[in-house]
Chain A
Amino acid sequence: MTVFTIDEVKKTFTNGEIDEQVLKGINLSLQEGEITALVGASGSGKSTILTIAAGLQRASDGRVLFEGKNMTDMNQEQIRKIRASEFGFVFQSAHLVPFLTVEEQLMLMLDVSETTMKKKEQKAEVAKILKLVEMNHRSKAYPASLSGGEKQRVAIARAIIHKPKMLFADEPTASLDSKRSKDVMLLIRDLTKTLNITTLMVTHDEEMLSYADHVITMKDGLILQS
């Protein structure tokens, strides 16, 4: 089932008097429970399409449909609500909140998503997800005391704790060594399959493509190969 559709999306950046078109009409459909990887050289537009899909910036033209609803027609508050409750994010850096423990990072995400779970249920859910990412033993630790791999595991746990329908991952393994990169990708794959999450991922690491169901290659703002 198609969960997410990108329809003739274009993006133009204006730099002084020069207009630079970085996306020249992208069409993409994402299927429920599948991982789609975007690859391509730097400047190909892969990160731009991911951030437009995630509601972090607007398209200059075209439509972005999530479960049939046109996000390009929505206001900032409507998009924020979707980001909070339906989307999960994993960035190149973990971007954890420095003054919250691992457990609190996840509790915060549940708060933001306006979960209907009671506090006790929330704690149980946090414990369950931390066990899933094998971080339950560090639940009281602050980000500063975690290794790079551990931080990224917590970031993944934060991205899925509120059971999002979509997961956006922007080079999630870029700051990790090859062993940890494989561990993280295995984790993303297992979680998306277990929780039936649709994932759009940007990567430039060819080794990571084996974990994706679909690989889309981009060049100069266009889809080269799907």
Chain B
Amino acid sequence: MNLAWKEIKKNKTKFIILGSIIFLVSFLTFIISGLSNGLSQDNAALIKDLPEGQFYMNADADATYNLSRIDASMQDKAMNGQKDAAALSIQMGFVNDADDKQHSIAFVTSTDSKLFESVEKGEIVLDRSLEDKGLKVGDTLTNNQFSGEFTVKAFVDQKKYSHAPVAYINMENYKEIYRVNEMQLVFVPGKEKALEIEGLQSFSNKDFLNTIPSYSAEQMSLNMIVWFLVVISGMLFAIFFYMMNVQKIGLYGILKAIGVKTSSLFGMMWSQMIVITLIALTFSVALSQGFTMIAPAGMPFSLTLQTTVQLSIVFIIIGFIGATLSGIQIKKVEPLQAIQQGEV
């Protein structure tokens, strides 16, 4: 007999309250996770969208790419025979449009590679967010350190760095603007182990992201909130089921006295936890996915179904652990004690 479902049906209010709490906590977690991912994309989509590989920067740069300068011989050593490898530089800057309106951007330049936009001298490829600000293909842009003009060649989707839209420019133009001859970084795609190159330090994509000022601090704070919420939801499960179990000690005792197995009582509690969690998660997944469609355009929000499903699985596991810990009382219940306590 499905005791779990019958109890839920008879005590709807109690279970709706628990379900609502789980719904609210999980919804909040999904939204914060969406914001965290959104900010992460806004901060480093340029790097995050690259395949797994190794970044190299000068060993003397103290893991700060801005200080890194890789000379031609080192660059050749790092890129030698590596398919799709690229030497690149990233610098924050700005361009002015025809109305002399200034736009903050992150200049990116690289050697020929399919991983980065290939741009001719005097051309510029921009992140699409600048199209929303009124720039169009064919527009002319200037920079006070550049003698010439840039013509907007195209827009690309979701290419951000340090919360600024990326602007791909030709290496010669870059060298003129920043008065440098060396590139800051070499990127070698592939899952192979990093090569040991004298004078260069290697970083995985993840390690490189953490060298970006503000990225790790921002992500750590947001991820901490997400995991706090997950732990809190586990505690909520434990506390709620503990309170329900305390109320039902007498009932469990009587059921044990008439011969119900302890494992059946645990099964009853687990079924209730699974049913309530699945219903609550269905609502919060649907609502959070709906929110991704209506989130304001300027809001850095990115919540994939994969992330929501992963977090949902974590919620179910945490809920299961919370409910099980609170259920230890069920194992301890003595039928005799329950009988002597009177009516349940």
Contact = CB atoms under 8 A, between A and B. Distances in A.
Interface string B323-344: 0000000000001101100111
Nearest to A95: B254
Given A97-B251, A113-B259, A108 B10 contact: no
Interface in B228-286: 250-251, 254-261
Contacts of B7: 99
Interface string A179-223: 000000000000000000000000000000000000000000000
B1 A104 contact: yes
B193 interface: no
A80 B336 contact: no
A134 B48 CA distance: 74
A98 B251 contact: yes
Given A100-B6, A107-B1, A56 B336 contact: yes
A114 B251 CA distance: 20
Contacts of A98: 10, 251, 344
A170 interface: yes
Contacts of A80: 256, 259, 261
Interface string A73-115: 0000000110111010101111111111000100111011100
Given A107-B1, A111-B1, A97 B339 contact: no
B3 interface: yes
Contacts of A96: 344
Interface in B68-90: none
Contacts of A113: 259
B344 A51 contact: no
Nearest to A158: B258
A57 interface: yes
A93 B343 contact: yes
A99 B11 contact: yes
B1 A108 contact: yes
B258 A109 contact: yes
Q: For chain A, which range describes its interface: under 10, 10 to 19, 20 to 34, or 35 or more residues?
A: 20 to 34
B10 A56 contact: no
Given A56-B335, A57-B336, A83 B10 contact: no
Contacts of A109: 258
A112 B260 contact: yes
Interface string A108-146: 110111000000000000000000000000000010000
B1 A56 contact: no
B339 A142 contact: no
A92 B342 contact: yes
B134 to A, nearest CB: 64
B276 to A, nearest CB: 15
A95 B9 CA distance: 20
A95 B259 contact: no
B133 to A, nearest CB: 61
| Most central of A51, A94, A99, A111 by chain B CB within 10 Å | A99
B344 to A, nearest CB: 6
Contact of B10 (A89, A142, A158): A142
Given A51-B336, A56-B339, A104 B258 contact: no
A87 B257 CA distance: 10
Given A51-B336, A56-B336, A84 B10 contact: no
B93 to A, nearest CB: 68
Interface in A39-67: 51, 56-57
Contacts of A57: 336
Given A99-B11, A111-B1, A89 B6 contact: no
B1 A95 contact: no
B259 A83 contact: yes
B10 A95 contact: no
B6 A95 contact: no
A56 B336 CA distance: 6
B258 A84 contact: yes
A92 B336 CA distance: 12
Nearest to A48: B336
Most buried by A among B254, B258, B261, B344: B258
B257 A99 contact: no
A27 B202 CA distance: 85
24 contacts: A56-B257, A56-B336, A56-B339, A84-B258, A84-B259, A84-B260, A85-B259, A91-B339, A92-B339, A93-B344, A94-B343, A95-B250, A95-B339, A97-B3, A97-B255, A99-B9, A99-B11, A104-B1, A104-B6, A108-B3, A109-B258, A112-B258, A142-B10, A170-B339
Interface of A: 51, 56-57, 80-81, 83-85, 87, 89, 91-100, 104, 107-109, 111-113, 142, 158, 170
Given A99-B6, A111-B1, 10 more contacts: A51-B336, A56-B339, A57-B336, A84-B259, A84-B260, A89-B257, A98-B251, A98-B344, A108-B1, A112-B259
Interface of B: 1, 3, 6-7, 9-11, 250-251, 254-261, 335-336, 338-339, 342-344
